[in-house]
Amino acid sequence: MFGLFKNKKKETIQKYLKEGAQLLDVRTASEFNGGHIEGSKNIPVQVIDQQMNALDKEKPLIVYCAMGGRSNIAAGKLKANGYKVVNAGGIGSMRKYLKS
């Protein structure tokens, strides 16, 4: 059953990428500066409420963090504010989704 959700997420991420998705890294600035996915915007989950206006509501968002917990929180807040979002989970998973 878990594989079905993983495949659905992968399909959604690939669809969003084709639609010109924004990549959003919600880790801290120091984590982001230590390495991130090229083209990602960094808005730490702690300030997502105050800074989500910097994101384009017309483009889908792919959100990631270190392990998936913070991106889940950020994705929920963004969805509640009308953004089209998928939570990719951790940065390792995000890298795998980009390779496929």
Q: Which of 46 and 97 is assigned the larger pLDDT?
A: 46
In words, the CATH class of domain 2-99 is: alpha beta
Domain ranges of the chain: 2-99
The sign one gets for the Cα dihedral 45, 82, 5, 100 is negative
41 and 1 Cβ atoms separated by less than 8 Å: no
pLDDT band at 6 (very low <50, low <70, confident <90, very high): low
Q: Are 45 and 78 in contact (CB under 8 A)?
A: no
Q: What are phi and psi of 89, to 5 degrees?
A: 90, -135
What tens digit of pLDDT does each residue of 39-94 get? 999 999 999 999 999 999 999 999 999 999 999 999 999 999 999 999 999 999 99
